[in-house]
Amino acid sequence: MAALTESKYIWRNGEQIAWADATVHILSHALHYGTAVFEGMRCYKTENGSAVFRLNEHMTRLCRSASMIGMDLPYTAEELTKAALELIRANELESCYVRPIAFRGYGAVGVNPRPAVIEVAIAVWPWGDYLGEEALENGISAGISSWRQRGVNATPGAVKSSAGYLNSGLAHMEALDHGYGEAILLNEAGMVAEGSGENIFAVRNGELFTPPLSDGILEGLTRNSVIQIARDLGYTVTERSLVRTDLYAADEVFFTGSAAEVTPIAAIDNRTIGSGKRGPITKVLQERFFEVVAGRVDEYKDWLFEV
Ligand code: PPE
């Protein structure tokens, strides 16, 4: 993960301000209690200029995350969609990562979030390959984490909350300490949940499997896109609970995410998966995904929001 590359403007509570001015107070509620929800998506260079992949759905998920933690956002998904497109234009970025965040700000300390003001911001900046340059082609190594994904009744994975990413960070650090590129978290029941910042798929005998939402995962938009792309190509995709040996025994395993895109997993817990390289079905889906986000496949053009 590369160092942050600054851009010119950040959208904050309805206006574009200079990047350097987008600061928060030390006593902001979210800093102390994790009371924030956020999104992440990519703006790609396409045939018809730049376009944000599934922008409207990401903003809808942001509003849903906020509403699930009892936070009434003062903006609609449509307003935030428009603000993000204007911001990318103002920053004159051809491709970038888009990070909207809604948080409880300054003005009240104490566990109760309600007295703290709600702020909404959007930042955009250039962000390259998430899991390293080599990962997309050769795959990465992953390890099953000793940290579990939080239960559905404790900072639920379905809510993309800042608080939830404490857990992701613990799992990710442990994976790096063990020499792996990324962590795979099981849920409290021992079923495969997701990566620290990705959903996960297994391929066996030509069919695809991925954990169901009820196993406590984020409803990933890349996951959703890959399921549809795979089905449209004629593959069978089944959402069902997976145990760790389902991953060990798979012919191919891959991660999906806005940042990670479609990243093959070459080994898990030092056990080689399939051929130990990007598998053939992963390759087909990855190539199709990159065609789709580049605007080269007509049937998915409504997933792209032109800047
Ligand atoms: N699970 C988790 C825990 C997760 O963080 C992400 C995205 C996904 C699944 C995939 O969701 P989607 O992007 O809608 O396909 N992780 C974001 C944050 C990465 C970060 O390091 O920050 C992302 O990919 O943008």
Write out the catalytic residue numbers: 160
- Bridge partners of 258, per DSSP, are none
The DSSP code sequence of 157-180 is TTS-BTTHHHHHHHHHHHHHHTT-
Query: Average model confidence (pLDDT) for the chain?
Result: 97
Q: Give the Cα separation of 60 and 155 in Å (integer).
A: 19
Most distant CA pair in the chain, distance: 57
Of 166, 168, 199, the residue with max ligand 1 atoms within 8 A of its CB, to mutate for a pocket test, comes to 199
pLDDT digits (tens, 9 = 90+) for 231-286: 999 999 999 999 999 999 999 999 999 999 999 999 999 999 999 999 999 999 99
The pTM of the full predicted model, rounded to 2 decimals, is 0.97
Q: What is the CA(266)–ligand 1 centre distance, in A? A: 20
Q: What is the CA(258)–ligand 1 centre distance, in A? A: 6
Contact between 60 and 77 (Cβ < 8 Å): yes
Cβ neighbors of 266 (< 8 A, separation 6 or more) are 138, 139, 140, 141, 272, 273, 276, 277, 278
Closest ligand 1 atom to the C-alpha of 97? Answer: 25
pLDDT digits (tens, 9 = 90+) for 203-243: 999 999 999 999 999 999 999 999 999 999 999 999 999 99
Single-letter code of the amino acid located at 182: E
